[in-house]
Structure 1
């Protein structure tokens, strides 16, 4: 783990690699390089509304005391550098990422937003945290091999970027676009750096909620293997298959079909159908799940009307690497509606105000309802619902051009988990350095 300041660490990493390349190769390596600094100001409030069981999270160092809310405010800095490639049959390049999170407001009884790194002994948020990572890359034709810091976005593993700093992994990934319309990915991940941490750790399975997933106590994994292929048949139809294996925990196969049907001028119907089969990998877990999901979206000008359905079956709920984004149509701001035997549906509405001459302003609202959750001793009486609302605006011109402001609101209720009211306010700005 690097302890260098943000800009210093990234600059040294990038310059160090570039200087090690032959001078003749510097032209394309430097000419095609780019760097940016993203600023994120993030406020989050999660209010625990239930009385009694299940109890909200406890306060570290204060036995028997529970939080009434988690509330924090922080400033994030993300410095990204991407080089070009050297000349030759195999081009060489380097990427670098430096992150820094700074506490603006927190307290021992208000942690838990995952915006800030928390001291394990005192339970207090640290004043700052961050890391620097480097990725070496090789390119031959349209095939690229990356080794180092990665943030995969594949059906079987999608790195989470919903807080102050992003979740990243250490490993290797091979991506190829050499065959027209076919995208191939394969690789292995060894460690994860969570969004509220500066340490790389071995990976574990997400077993929260009423999933019914049981694993060997204390077991972690240093190996996630994956392979994925996506084929674009035409401008309307794309199909994909992905395989993922968290060693010692589970194996997973996912198939996906996306189709966009043009109906008339500024009208279309999008179908997104997903199926996943997950099983245990040895004797250290009991994973056994089938997950089906379908989302249909009708677009009309600036309006979009969506309806979704998701169903879990098998001996457990849906399995995925902890804190990553599961590839589920009903994974939303707080919940994923992926408990054992759960059936859920969603209604969604989006509006882009550019349709009435206000570019940059967007709105979304949705409601989800789930039931038949295996709650206690096989009794399928678990129920939950969630309501979300997002409104965002990106300044289009003037001195504040490209400044983005987003308010995310959510309400979640269930008879087996925490009842939550949540608000997130995010102000972001990205400036290109070169």
Structure 2
């Protein structure tokens, strides 16, 4: 699962305003940014069946109230041909409500006895160097690419520890490579957690990757390769194209393809999986209609990297397919899935900032896994499942509450014939409001 699968969160956040690859060269202090924000969540979710038993926390319906404070600092670079700088962050989380049997789910830290902690926090730092358009970073960081991506869907983001080298010498082209050896889940106080397979619950000592993406006005293409030590090797190819039509309508095409094979000692067993998705969207005025198809080929689900405490939850986001949504990734062995989505922008009707979204995904032909590391699918026999998400969003356009973002979401997931995600009913309220940033 790539998004928060619980109900009624209340979020206050100050968004990051600095780029991951700063291009300014005024100096270490002159180009520094300090971003301070808070995020509060109130969760109330109902689960039935054994879907949530896939995760090690093994709790009842997730329900908790939590408050998180964030401070993110990004320096500029020292002047000269080779510039140096550093980034740092500090997080502090507080449990406002939530019993031990329901709390957690990535928002509140749990001790070894399964008790919810009243407060927790962590800090991290990275050092960076830049020469021209080439930048090297080492330390704790958030990473975003198709084969290795942290996520920010809980009270705090997950982070990874390692190095990342990126180059932007050619306009529109990003080339990057990195190697990471540790990860941190959102509710952890340690920066020395594991990297592990989200669905096989098997750790890896390191993940290395290389690749890049090129973007123009109308199209983009990405190519990446990764090695998860003694787990698997993975290749990714993706692309998009946008047609601007004379009637001011738009047609957008997105394609994604993964190819995964076991590697080294194959600690997650025999893996031979191909996953792909294609989506086509048509936009005209205030309306947008999208249809997507996703296919998993192989006797194991499409798996991807997790961060921190092994089995604690899906705290990675390196699944650039069309149909992973709130409650499910629709990534079971040999699974096929379709999505239909509709977006409505109310600005042309005189309500700027107001929009609506509805989407439905149906997955079918799911088979039991032929790999013992993916036992959650042992009961699958032509399994099926479906999910319906409804959402309303509003961004305040002016006044003292300008840029306040309000989001209401209802999600319903229904599992059949041994599909392991179970029946889930989630309700979500999110408020995002910038705080002082300087």
TM-score range relative to shorter protein: 0.7 to 0.9
Give 2:155's match in structure 1, choosing from 153, 157, 164.
Answer: 164
TM-score (norm 1): 0.85
- Alignment partner of 1:301 out of 266, 285, 292: 285
- Distance, in Å, in 1 between the alignment partners of 2:42 and 2:183 is 25
Cα 1:98–1:261 change in 2 (3 A) is same
Q: Which residue in 2 is equivalent to 1:238? A: 220
Partner of 2:15: none
1:355 aligns to what SS in structure 2?
helix
Q: Show structure 2 runs of 5+ residues with no match.
A: 1-24, 307-314, 369-376
The corresponding residue for 1:408 is 409
| Equivalent pair of 1:154/1:228 in contact (CA under 8 Å) | no
The 8 Å contact of residues 106 and 185 in structure 2, kept in 1 or not, is answered as no
Classify the secondary structure of the residue corresponding to 2:241: strand
| SS of residue in 1 equivalent to 2:299 | coil
Q: Deviations over 1:196-224 (max 9, x none)?
A: 222231211012xxxxx5x7xxx522311
Q: Quote the Cα distance in structure 2 between the aligned partners of 1:183 and 1:307.
A: 29
How many residue pairs get aligned? The number is: 391
Query: In structure 2, the residue corresponding to 1:248 is in which secondary structure?
Result: coil
What residue is the counterpart of 2:303 in the other structure? 319
Contact map agreement 2:51 2:423 (CA 8 A) in 1:
no
- Alignment-derived partner of residue 210 in structure 1: none
- The runs of 4+ residues in structure 1 deviating greater than 6 Å are 57-60, 376-379
Q: How does 1:26-425 map to 2 (within 5 A)?
A: 28-50=27-49, 69-121=61-113, 123-199=114-190, 200-207=192-199, 220-232=203-215, 234-283=216-265, 284-285=267-268, 286-322=270-306, 323-325=315-317, 326-375=319-368, 380-415=381-416, 416=418, 417=420, 418-425=422-429
- Please tell me whether the aligned partners of residues 56 and 68 of structure 1 are also in contact (alpha carbons under 8 angstroms): no
Q: TM-score, normalised by structure 2?
A: 0.84
Change (3 A) 1:104 1:182: same
- Give distance in 1, aligned partners of 2:117 and 2:171: 49
The alpha carbon displacement at 1:90 in A equals 1.0
Deviation at 1:414, TM superposition (A): 0.8
**1:410–1:423: 8 Å Cα contact kept in structure 2?**
yes
Distance 1:378 1:39, change over 3 A: closer
The alpha carbon displacement at 1:371 in A equals: 0.6
Distance of 1:161 and 1:263 partners within structure 2:
35
Q: Say if 1:239 and 1:257, in contact at 8 Å, map to a contact too.
A: yes
- 1:58, CA displacement in angstroms? 10
CA distance in 2, matches of 1:118, 1:378: 30
Q: State the shift of 1:290 in Å.
A: 0.3
- On the 8 A contact 1:254/1:275 being kept in 2, the answer is yes
Aligned-pair distance for 1:112? Answer: 4.3
Aligned-partner Cα distance in 2 for 1:378–1:168: 34
- Structure 1 distance, partners of 2:361, 2:109, is 31
User: What's 1:15 paired with?
Assistant: none
Q: Deviations over 1:202-252 (max 9, x none)?
A: 211012xxxxx5x7xxx52231101121123x4111111011221111110
RMSD: 2.2
**Distance verdict in 2 for CA 1:420–1:139, change over 3 Å:** same
Kept in 2: contact 1:42–1:424 (CA 8 A):
no
- Measure, in 1, the Cα distance between the counterparts of 2:78 and 2:87: 13
Tell me the residue number matched to 1:426. 430
Residue 33 of structure 1: how far off its partner (Å): 1.1
Q: Give unmatched runs, 5+ long, in structure 1.
A: 1-25, 61-65, 208-212
Residues 16-59 of structure 1 show CA distances to partners (whole Å, capped at 9, x for unaligned) of xxxxxxxxxx9721111111112212122220134xx6686899
**Cα distance in 2 for residues equivalent to 1:113 and 1:243:** 31
For the residues of structure 1 that align with 2:337 and 2:36, how far apart are their CA atoms? 40
Q: CA deviation at 1:303?
A: 1.8
Structure with the greater alpha carbon radius of gyration:
1
CA contact (8 A) 2:104 2:116 kept: no
